[in-house]
Amino acid sequence: MKLFGHKLTASAAFGMLVIALFIFICLFTPWLSPYSESANVGGTWDEPSMKMVFGADQIGRDMLTRMMYGSRMTIGVALAITTLSFLIGILTGLVSAVLGGWVDIFFTRLVDVMLSIPSLIFALIILGVFGSSIPTLIMTIAVLDSTRVFRLSRALGINLRVMEYVEAARLRGEGLWWVITREILPNAWAPLVSEFGLRFCFNFLFIAGLSFLGLGIQPPYADLGGMVRENADAINFGMMAPIYPATAIALLTVSVNLVVDWMLSIDARPSGAQAEL
Amino acid sequence: MDDSTILHISGLRLESVAGNVIVDNIHLQLQRGEVLGLIGESGAGKSSIGLSSMCYARAGVHIAAGAIVLGGIDIRTLEAEGRRQLRGKRIAYIAQSAAAAFNPAHSLMDQVCEAPVLHWLMTRPEAESWARELFTALDLPDPQNFGKRFPHQVSGGQLQRAMAAMAMSCRPDVLVLDEPTTALDVTTQIEVLILLKSLIRQYNTAALYITHDLAVVAQVADRIKVLRHGKEVEEGLTEQILHHATQEYTARLVAVRGAAASERASAATVMPETVLSIQDCHAYYGDFHVVRGVSLDVKKGETVAVVGESGSGKSTLARVVTGLLPPKSGTISFQGAPLPASLELRSKELKRRIQLVYQIPDVAINPRQSLLDIVGRPVEFYFATRRDEMLERAKELMKLVELPEDFLARKPGQLSGGQKQRVCIARALAAKPELIILDEPTSALDPLVAEEILTLLRKLQGELGLSYILITHDLDVVHRIAHRTAVMLQGQFVAFDQTDRIFDQPDHPYTQRLITAVPEMRVDWLDQVLAKRAAA
């Protein structure tokens, strides 16, 4: 099977299938879920049954329903963070690369400072001070994460800035915006898109991690990381409850990585090509 | 096949991973001490054949059929280890770009001695003394200590010779020389050529000499094989190929060089008014004084060539004129009015009037834009035209540079090198400029394609009354389209006069050296140069 003129590997196909499934579920959760988000329909940690496929959570809500809403929330937030961080990172990175001089020094030093502080600690401080609402969460992590996007897009921009077609545009008298959007960005898409996939994974895990620590998405909203924490005690009784949301986290992360791996292999040389020795 | 045959390739066929045939049905035979020239355009398969003589294929290519017999052994039947034993020891390779082929982290001696020690031919001290002998034979400075230097500490020509020493370090039976002088300046090229030739003679090594320059190969090769699109066009003795080619393609390759002597730029297009005038211009990169007091003027409809070797400052001069590098001192005036030094200070209108055509068309146009975007953008940008007018103008421009209109929908990746250069010219013309700076416009192109571009440039000059500043190292090109020529050496003009006068009565010794260093399409040219030197 081929996609965009490139041969699709089995692992990439699997990854795409899983991602498609997650997207479908996230888009149509209210119609697909058996119960409403916070309805108590059973007892604490009820065993899986025909009524509740994955059993019930710590206060008797349907695990499958919670996982659907949880995925929707966690994925949505992670996607918003990644998109925002790419907007900030690409813009500052490319402006920095093209203009150089003081602008470049300002942004790179700022990023150096931000990168010197562990991001989890940084996020904990900000969220501790400003409280953990969803917009604060998105803004904080997006800004933190944009430092890495900045580094990548600045590096790409510096390589492309010296190309003669960019010089030709400058000689013509084109402005900064044209140079960035028309001359540089189209040539930087491929690495940026695969980086988007990877950063999404990190952000997804980061959000899940924060929620697990109780600083991410707050109840009553369901989210995958929070669900692992809420149901963690079930492990002591030999019950599966926290395994389900944890598996969902792992499944999505692995799937996105499989697809990104495939995308990166497209950029490389033709498949099977090796020097004949 | 007799005993003296050292390399015998028959029925060679190379295919790409995608299944395209790159080289097909190539036969070649090499006797001891014989030099065979492989000549052809880019993409003709010359380098692939050269590498496959060592049974090596680059990533993406594989040897599909044929026998490669080196000294009686069919190396295709050997295992990888067996082939490794032969490479470097019995057959060695000299790459085009020595600068890219040497490891910058090791001294030259380490790299020259590596192969003989690795193949258990010599001990390290033996290898070193042999290397010094080779350094002496190759006329490298201070051969006793030359090996202690690192690749970045020697010049390009010296590095290329060091690479020859590396290839000779195991005294191989066969040398594969892949464009060994192409990256060098013309005055350096002749020195390297002389030394390579004497080296091959001295040690009776057989050689495959790969190049696109027929005049160069004529000096060293006993026989020449002409290739095109991966197939053999013809093979013959050098003399025979030069003077009695049986194939039309070969005849055309020979004729391109011959044409230079007969054609001259006509003075009919030159008008009295001065377009650009530079007075006593000095430009620096940091503290490095690159352009040292250059004065130049260009008239309407005139082509002024600036000739010089790499590092002479000719491209820097182009950057000064375009405003990318503001000069420290000196004045530039354009159409009588002073021209602001830096690009930021120039008006849109001034930017429009001076356009630049780059050396390497592949990187001069954005691979992600369609030709309509590339050619149409300057029209839209400078003249604020409507979309439909812009499209009309783009079609007109395509016609001017002799490309089909439907190419406008294409992306650069779908064009050949020559077509890309035409797009670059069209982009420059789109601004309706008065002055075009041509920075080595043909040096990245094959000779027959370069020929077409030159013809086009001359035609456009006649039709549109354009002025050109032509930056080049190729005296052949200068000969044919430049009305006046400036010879640049170390940031200064050593001569600036009518092209004919520069070529016919070169006053400055450097100009003389430059002109005599250009290989001529004769078998005995190099020997005559040597004889002349000996006499002097």
pLDDT digit string, tens, across residues B51-68: 888 888 887 788 888 889
- Judged by DSSP in three states, B507 sits in coil
Provide residues of A within 8 Å CB-CB of chain B.
163-165, 167-168, 170-174, 182-183, 186-187, 269-277
Mean pLDDT of chain A: 87
CATH of the domain at A175: 1.10.3720.10
Mean pLDDT of chain B: 88
Q: How far from chain centre, in Å, is Cα B281?
A: 29
A194 pLDDT more than 90: no
Give contacts of A274 with chain B, Cβ < 8 Å: 59
Mean pLDDT value of segment B491-510? 89
Interchain proximity B366–A187, CB inside 8 Å: yes
DSSP string over A175-241: -HHHIIIIIIHHHHHHHHHHHHHHHHHHHHHHHHHHHHTTSSSPTTS--HHHHHHHTGGGGGGT--T
For CA atoms A88, A93, A94, A96, give the dihedral sign: positive
Domain for residue A80, yes or no? yes
Angle at Cα B109 formed by Cα B166 and Cα B184, nearest 5°? Answer: 55
Band (pLDDT 50/70/90 cuts) for residue B527 is: confident
Q: Which of B349, B366, B375 to mutate to test the interface with A (most CBs of A within 10 A)?
A: B366
Encode pLDDT of A41-86 as tens digits. 777 777 888 888 888 888 888 889 999 999 999 999 999 999 999 9
B2 pLDDT more than 80: no
B18 pLDDT more than 80: no
Whether residue B56 lies within 8 A of chain A, CB to CB, comes out as: yes
| E-assigned strand segments in A69-178 | none
What is the pLDDT at residue B204?
Answer: 86
Strand partners, B332: B278
Interchain proximity A277–B80, CB inside 8 Å: yes
The answer to whether residues B44 and B100 touch, using CB atoms and an 8 Å cutoff, is no
Domain for residue A177, yes or no? yes
What is the pLDDT at residue B261?
Answer: 54
Cα separation, B400 vs B382, in Å, equals: 19
A267 CA: distance to closest CA in chain B (Å):
14
Encode pLDDT of B35-94 as tens digits. 999 998 877 888 889 888 888 888 778 888 888 998 888 888 888 888 888 888 889 988
Encode pLDDT of A62-74 as tens digits. 889 999 999 999 9
Cα separation, B226 vs B247, in Å, equals: 10
Interchain proximity B378–A172, CB inside 8 Å: yes
Q: What percent of chain B has pLDDT over 90?
A: 32
What is the pLDDT at residue B1?
Answer: 47
Whether residue B258 lies within 8 A of chain A, CB to CB, comes out as: no
Give the containing element (helix H, strand E) for B15.
strand B5-16
B361 CA: distance to closest CA in chain A (Å):
9
What is the pLDDT at residue A272?
Answer: 44
Burial of residue A48 (CB within 10 Å: 0-12, 13-18, 19+) is middle
Domain count of the fold of chain A: 1
From A160, A149, A144, select the one nearest A89 (Cα to Cα).
A149
Whether residue B218 lies within 8 A of chain A, CB to CB, comes out as: no
**Which residue of B lies nearest to A189 if distances are taken between CA atoms?**
B368
What is the pLDDT at residue A273?
Answer: 45
Domain for residue A203, yes or no? yes
What is the pLDDT at residue A270?
Answer: 47
Domain for residue A104, yes or no? yes
From B336, B355, B353, select the one nearest B297 (Cα to Cα).
B336
From B351, B276, B272, B270, select the one nearest B303 (Cα to Cα).
B270
Range of the domain at A59: 2-36+51-267
A67 CA: distance to closest CA in chain B (Å):
43
Tokens (6 digits) for B514: 């430059």
Q: Which of B63, B368, B373, B377 to mutate to test the interface with A (most CBs of A within 10 A)?
A: B368
The minimal CB distance from A270 to the residues B60, B63, B369 is found for B60
The answer to whether residues A125 and A212 touch, using CB atoms and an 8 Å cutoff, is no
- Judged by DSSP in three states, B356 sits in strand
User: Which domains, ranges and CATH numbers included, belong to chain B?
Assistant: 80-261 (3.40.50.300), 263-505 (3.40.50.300)
A107 CA: distance to closest CA in chain B (Å):
24
B263 pLDDT more than 70: no
Tokens (6 digits) for A13: 């196909």
A112 pLDDT more than 70: yes
Interchain proximity B343–A170, CB inside 8 Å: yes
Q: Which residue has the higher pLDDT, B456 or B447?
A: B456
Interchain proximity A275–B322, CB inside 8 Å: no
Cα separation, B247 vs B224, in Å, equals: 13
* Side chain identity, residue A122: F
B265 pLDDT more than 70: no
From A187, A139, A145, select the one nearest A163 (Cα to Cα).
A187
Calculate Rg over the CA atoms of chain B: 25
A207 pLDDT more than 80: yes
Domain for residue A60, yes or no? yes
The answer to whether residues B167 and B112 touch, using CB atoms and an 8 Å cutoff, is no
Cα separation, A205 vs B164, in Å, equals: 56
The answer to whether residues A234 and A242 touch, using CB atoms and an 8 Å cutoff, is yes
Domain for residue A274, yes or no? no
Give contacts of B83 with chain A, Cβ < 8 Å: 277
Interchain proximity A273–B366, CB inside 8 Å: no
Give contacts of A271 with chain B, Cβ < 8 Å: 17
B382 CA: distance to closest CA in chain A (Å):
9
Encode pLDDT of A223-274 as tens digits. 888 888 888 888 888 788 889 999 999 999 999 999 988 888 775 544 444 5
A273 CA: distance to closest CA in chain B (Å):
4
What is the pLDDT at residue A233?
Answer: 86
Q: In A159-176, which positions are buried (b, 16+ CB within 10 angstroms) versus exposed (e)?
A: ebbebbbbbbbbbbbbee
